[in-house]
Each structure stands twice: as structure tokens, then as C-alpha cells.
Amino acid sequence: MIRLGLIFGGRSAEHEVSVVSAEHVIAAVEHEEFEVVPIGVTKDGVWLSTQETRVALSRAEVAFKKRVVGTAGGVGTARCDDRGRGDASRSGHPLPQCAAPDL
């Protein structure tokens, strides 16, 4: 079996398109031949672990409104505010923790 790393998301204005495209690649790949390792990058540029990315992709959201956002408090993850947006800690205001990554 071949391991296929799929990096998507990122700081681009096309972030949501990238997330949806990654979902289509994951669905279309021959799973008998390839092990897909999804690696999401938040709009703030934070790279998520494979586990965090899979949780984020499992959320049911309207297509093209999906964003990859990490959970609060984890090493290498983004924080998110009460609207599911990425790290706004630069404002100096503490943010509530998110229960799970949002897309």
C-alpha cells in the first residue's frame, strides 16, 4: 500500500475550495492501493495533525463554507473563537475553547 500525503487548506482566499477538493480526492482514491494521510492547514497557516484534520473533515458543513481550524490548547494547533474562527489571540482577548476543530 502506498501512503499518500494530502496537504490542503492554507492561507489562500481559496481555502474553502481546497478543503472541498481534498474531500473529493479522499473519496475518489483507490483505498485498496493508497492510504490517504490528510494534513490540513488553517487559514492562519497552522498545520494540523492527521487526527485533528480527520476530525475537522468529519464535520457536516455546507460545501464551500468549510474551513480547517484547530482546537484550543493543543500543541501546534490553532485556537478558535465562539464563531469557529481561527486564532484571534493577537487581539489580547482570551478566546473560549472549541469542542472540536471546525471546517
Q: What is the CATH number of the domain that holds 71?
A: 3.40.50.20
Tell whether 20 is covered by a domain: yes
Q: Which long-range contacts (CB under 8 A, 24 or more apart) does 19-25 make?
A: 19/57, 19/66, 19/67, 19/68, 19/103, 20/63, 20/64, 20/66, 22/57, 23/57, 23/66
Residue 38, CA atoms < 13 Å, CB-side half-sphere: 24
Tell whether 102 is covered by a domain: no
User: Could you identify the residue written with the cell 475553547?
Assistant: 97
Tell whether 100 is covered by a domain: no
Q: Which domain holds residue 42?
A: 2-91
Tell whether 67 is covered by a domain: yes
Tell whether 101 is covered by a domain: no
In order of 23, 34, 72, the CA distances from 30 in angstroms are 14, 6, 34
Residue 46: is its pLDDT beyond 80? Answer: yes
Tell whether 82 is covered by a domain: yes
Tell me: the pLDDT tens digits for 14-27?
Answer: 998 999 899 999 99
Q: Is pTM, for the whole model, over 0.75?
A: no
Q: Tell me how many domains the chain contains.
A: 1
Tell me: the pLDDT tens digits for 50-96?
Answer: 999 998 888 876 554 566 666 554 334 444 444 544 444 444 444 44
